[in-house]
Structure 1
């Protein structure tokens, strides 16, 4: 679910200056490897030091989600930067270098992944109801006839894009299943991408990223993790966790009728396949890039942890979280890449653990060091916090006088500060 793009697509985007869709297939690289030009000044409020051209909104969104998960209060500048990336039509692109210039949908079409990630983050920190509502309206307008979404408007639905949009609706307090087009819901789009009993036994229950040219479905671990998470009705910041449940592999045989599964059964089958894949590799997923044989895919492993935990399989999820904790020193991106660090923090949060630390590693400290200093850290008594308002500025801090009274015989007055609302829209 971390933003990835194919090598040819990145090259084409650099040459043509247009937005391109990420893929979850082989031949992908993380765009965080692209460094900012020497001497290039990065925007104020942004997390990370690499060129934000392809992932600025995404990495800012997951950073804010991780800070919220850990109980930290993001800097107002960080929230304002993200909200300020929105286009007039409600969409977000991967990154707008000049937010004073109008968005050009022909040159840089709206990005459903960036838009949905921003909705999740801004819903979590609060105070951005207008921005969130406008983005949801835009997502409604670009929904495909099959009930799903592609990376850009008009592109075929893919499991990863559907997943992050489902998470946006859920984070904003909406029911994803009610977002329909031609009678099709996002879950209809997802289940159409699941491999069933007619697939090879070891691929059953997995999800494909998109159908192939001939409509064939190829099992994809990253897409499976994304689809399982979406089928639980959760975003990247897992909220209420279901009770621990046993894994339920896809059941085939005489009683199998060949019909698409409901979303809960689809999530179960996908989770069982995902857990099996993790076990096969000693607790992690493998990179699909050419020449990366037997190379661990840390980011997708973190995604798998979130998906398994959200679907009620925390014991299985914790196995891979422990693997991540033991291998952090081997993953260079876990040192100062905000999206990578945030992904591990969200994985720890999903399992019910402490997002701030993992196996003695100060994840929150690492994330905080990549961007603007948080307004407050867990346990601190602060007089300031990230903005909470009923509009879209995200920069005004409000205090309410809730009560002033006299204690009997003591004449003691006191002020109580208002508590910030969680996901208040």
Structure 2
């Protein structure tokens, strides 16, 4: 379904936009979301310093990522027909402070939030997206939206913490949360600036190196450097997409960088970012990152984010090779990283053309995610129509015959075999 087809008339020209996640780091005391900017959350701690609460997904220390990983897990379940356990939803809702904000984790929710508790925009925005998608939490969502509006920076964007310098990832995930909650994001202005104005200031120009990419923040000299995770975030932010992204029709003009006006054509900025991501993935089908003193290594989280961004921008052909790589190589990473990683892969499988959440590199992502937390209250089984729909998007290695024919043929053969077996059974009973 095209984006225009699913937006109200008032939002089609231009589409209202928004996005995804925190790549922000909470420096010494906090979350370091991968060095290349993957917003998956902190590196899991092998020995939790706090007890793992009932209802929380994952078994690693939630101090720096509890609300984030819970929100992603609930969003992923919601997109796959899973009704989360009441305890899981209650845990997330119970993390909220009286002023509407969320911290990364509160061990004791029986006490009011302390005045010096470090709340942040990313945890709050992720929780808003999850609770708004699940429904039934209007009061909490409204309070969180009010708080997010109150900490908008004068340039129209948001930093990780209230008053912090604007960054692409925080601005995008907050804008996405506000859009999910029904706010008309382009009209939300501070000092005359909207969130899209803030994102435009962080976009690299269409001339020179890394044209169309987005920086996380300007460096000390005020210069912009391309950042893959920030770019993926900005694509979704400027295309009115939540963290989950969505599968879009092919973009017939999936090339080139064009100057854009955030006030009237934010979708062009999203297109530019997708072009850059496609080029960054073209060589080996994955993004790379390196830690200080270490060799470059595959960045699974950022690659997943990039695929969601590409698919949401209609760059389906460009997402195909990275998708295949992620299907073949992400199992160990996801198992080690936990629920947020499984949620990211589910976002990929839902958004990418030809992917299947129940058969992603031979794994059922829904089952794997569900196993990291309390048993869901309900699960919708995939239907035969769903399976055929997935198959129709896949092609064989020769790029010719559509697998749907094979699936359909198999169904026919299966039906005939079943008929023969039933007939044989009848004959035996008659004998």
TM-score (norm 2): 0.78
Check if 1:191 corresponds to 2:200. yes
Check whether the contact 2:218–2:225 (CA below 8 A) recurs between aligned residues.
yes
Instruction: Note the residue ranges of structure 1 that are not aligned, 5 or more in a row.
Output: 14-18, 382-425
| Partner SS state of residue 50, structure 1 | coil
Check whether the contact 1:284–1:323 (CA below 8 A) recurs between aligned residues.
yes
| CA distance 1:226–1:5, shift in 2 (3 Å) | closer
Structure-2 residue corresponding to 1:144: 153
How far 1:100 moved relative to its partner? 1.4
- Equivalent positions of 1:11-410 (< 5 A) are 12-13=28-29, 31-37=42-48, 40-106=50-116, 108-200=117-209, 203-239=210-246, 241-251=248-258, 262-280=265-283, 282-329=284-331, 331-334=332-335, 337-351=338-352, 353-379=355-381
Check whether the contact 1:120–1:167 (CA below 8 A) recurs between aligned residues.
yes
Structure-2 residue corresponding to 1:417: none
| CA distance 1:134–1:258, shift in 2 (3 Å) | closer
- In 1, the alpha carbon distance for the partners of 2:197 and 2:277 equals 20
| CA distance 1:325–1:183, shift in 2 (3 Å) | same
Structure-2 residue corresponding to 1:390: none
TM-score (norm 1): 0.79
Check whether the contact 1:231–1:267 (CA below 8 A) recurs between aligned residues.
yes
| CA distance 1:151–1:358, shift in 2 (3 Å) | same
Q: Deviations over 1:162-203 (max 9, x none)?
A: 111111022223222122111111110001001104542xx1
Q: Deviations over 1:50-96 (max 9, x none)?
A: 00000000000000011111111111110000000000000001000
How far 1:294 moved relative to its partner? 3.0
Check whether the contact 1:194–1:206 (CA below 8 A) recurs between aligned residues.
yes
Structure-2 residue corresponding to 1:405: none
Give runs of ≥4 in structure 1 deviating > 6 Å. Answer: 26-29, 256-261
Higher deviation after alignment, 21-30 or 315-324:
21-30
- In 2, the alpha carbon distance for the partners of 1:160 and 1:257 equals 19
| Partner SS state of residue 378, structure 2 | coil
Q: Deviations over 1:132-155 (max 9, x none)?
A: 111000000000011000000000
**Count of residues paired in the alignment:** 363
How far 1:261 moved relative to its partner? 8.9
Check whether the contact 1:207–1:223 (CA below 8 A) recurs between aligned residues.
yes
Check whether the contact 2:186–2:263 (CA below 8 A) recurs between aligned residues.
no
